[in-house]
Structure 1
């Protein structure tokens, strides 16, 4: 009872603090084959030595080359840092900082998925504060303008191009930590659906459900308010309508464009309201087993929704009605259950697995303890979860339950 009271007091206080903090939205550039807009913006603002942050796979696929060619044509010097790994580590961030300093860069372009954008944010923050990134973990420890920053996402899911968060992995401790500060929001988000046409179907599915998770947890959390609810509803509407299309036909440019906007809206929602237990658990699975974040979210999501139903039924029912899953006069419990069922049906359509082969029985106590600790007094969840309840959810993810 004391823990619950403390949690609600802290969350209640943060709800009002959140309203007072100005979180900028990046300048939004949309449209296919608009990569040259990035270099035009750099040229307009008189930046002439940019660091391009990406990953080896995107280099191998030759997706970054049009950007590099455009920089050359505009006579903007660049240094390419293409060593970003999934779940970027402290060491990777330090490598990027070293290149930025050695080459005297004056701006950053992140070209890639959430890991790339988060790594670029972390490099910018570490450079700005002249501190190791792990020393900036937590809330509002940067508080200084980053170098001019353009984010070009190549997946539609993390919403990192719209958020004030960077998630970094401490490889030694086998856990993730977050750096949270409004100055981490990029100056520009360039959404080009043409870049996403080549995404494999499973990556399309997992990143799309990542965005859906952001929108749902933002909406049902205690920090939601009219603007964030509208962002979340817009994202969910697009995801339910267009994610199955993008999954079935990756070359459908309209579906890719709609999913890119959905990811942006979901990012704008949760960066103002925070997330919940789906993320708390998924972060542990990613930190310990390197499970891709979108996949971890997708597997955990229905379990947390069922757990939250007792307290979140009103909001889940609202979503079912707003998204035309049920009639407006449908009773609350049936509408809420229908929403959860529609999420489960979407996961089945996308062939999301129900179990994690990496998960070890011996780790469940540790994972549950870490997840509950991460969420406590930080995530504005509709219903508090204890370690035993978290262990039950993790137990259901074991392959032995298949």
Structure 2
């Protein structure tokens, strides 16, 4: 614990020396129509569009029309799947060079945006992706970069981080460098109205986790606190509305801004144990990141509450409650409203020690958590979800009914 505190203390001071800019943001209905104008400002002549195979297909015509209007050519790389891998990044970097691109546009959720970030990094550094893991391993400006999120959760359009999967190791790893921040971000709620309820819920809980972990962590600043609080207020108010009615444009717009604000908060104040554990569960079992965060958040907060009571009380007051325990209960209530699961059926007992070890290595190497979780405590936390899963799988005993003769 002493070593961890020393590392966090040093990193906190170093963090103050790193200037994290903001992207230029265009927000509002049909703001995607300004994509061509933005890219023309940086002299783009041929953009590589990084997206998924189907999820963003409906949005492509609007983007392409805007680029065409400004005489910007483009090549579409639509091979990004959830949890983008090292191989996808390498293929994408080859694609960029093959089609003589000079700029990058990411269209989609966190996976395409994160993948686009690391493709840009590999283009300018030309080194194995795995060697970029950690902090400040790139330090070279990426090609002009526009991020257009189509989900309200990851906030990747506002962050200096990207998460990539290593299938061979069954592991995810983070790459953190200010150069990964997009030059531009377009936040258009129209792009999110078709998002299914389940994905709306999971991505929204991802944004909530970003904001909460940024607020209770020890790197928090008045600026990160302001962004985190704005995001948390919006999420508790508008996430259930967006979940119930995907066509509610006000709810979609507010959630899009909440995701961006949470991204601004955590890219300056970092996240914590929830993300560290969720990354390992995603790498091991391909559990959707937002869903993993939603399930883990209440239990991690219960553990951390004694170490950050005042901060948790502030969050409770923010949404009209009295104390941290009530705030945690409200997170559980929100999960229930969104029909989020409360366990991990994929979790195997024999994997728990490795998951805990990897999660703690990630957290204690990077994240300023308010209280220290040991290997055994992390294992016990995970075992709770194993027990919950086993209970779900075991049918209730049938009590024989008395039959009158």
Q: Does 1:401 align with 2:391?
A: yes
Name the SS for the 1:177 alignment partner: strand
Shift of the alpha carbon at 1:372?
A: 1.4
TM-score when normalising by structure 2: 0.94
Please list the CA deviations of residues 134-183 of structure 1 after superposition, one character each: whole Å capped at 9, or x if unmatched: 12111101111110000000000001000000100111111011111001
Shift of the alpha carbon at 1:41?
A: 1.2
Please list the CA deviations of residues 261-306 of structure 1 after superposition, one character each: whole Å capped at 9, or x if unmatched: 1001101111111111101110010001011110111111111011
Shift of the alpha carbon at 1:46?
A: 2.1
Correspondence for 1:216: 212
Q: Does 1:131 align with 2:127?
A: yes
Indicate how the Cα distance of structure 1 residues 322 and 58 shifts in structure 2: closer, same or farther if over 3 A, else same: closer
Choose 103-112 or 66-75, whichever is displaced more.
66-75
1:42 counterpart (39, 42, 46): 39
Q: What RMSD, in angstroms, separates the aligned Cα atoms of the two structures?
A: 1.1
Name the SS for the 1:109 alignment partner: strand
Structure 2 stretches of 5 or more lacking a match?
393-405
Shift of the alpha carbon at 1:374?
A: 1.4
Structure 1 stretches of 5 or more lacking a match?
327-334
Are the equivalent residues in 1 in contact too, given 2:38–2:184 (CA < 8 A)?
no
Q: Does 1:26 align with 2:23?
A: yes
Correspondence for 1:90: 86
Q: Does 1:117 align with 2:113?
A: yes
* Count of residue correspondences: 390
Are the equivalent residues in 2 in contact too, given 1:8–1:377 (CA < 8 A)?
no
Name the SS for the 2:54 alignment partner: helix
Choose 62-71 or 367-376, whichever is displaced more.
62-71
Indicate how the Cα distance of structure 1 residues 401 and 281 shifts in structure 2: closer, same or farther if over 3 A, else same: farther
In the aligned structure 1, how far is the partner of 2:153 from the partner of 2:238?
13
Choose 141-150 or 126-135, whichever is displaced more.
126-135
Name the SS for the 1:376 alignment partner: helix
Shift of the alpha carbon at 1:117?
A: 0.2
Q: Does 1:164 align with 2:160?
A: yes
Larger Rg: 2
Are the equivalent residues in 1 in contact too, given 2:34–2:66 (CA < 8 A)?
no
Correspondence for 1:51: 48
In the aligned structure 2, how far is the partner of 1:141 from the partner of 1:44?
28
Name the SS for the 2:308 alignment partner: helix
Could you list the structure 1 runs, at least 4 aligned residues long, displaced by more than 4 angstroms after superposition: none
In the aligned structure 2, how far is the partner of 1:238 from the partner of 1:254?
11
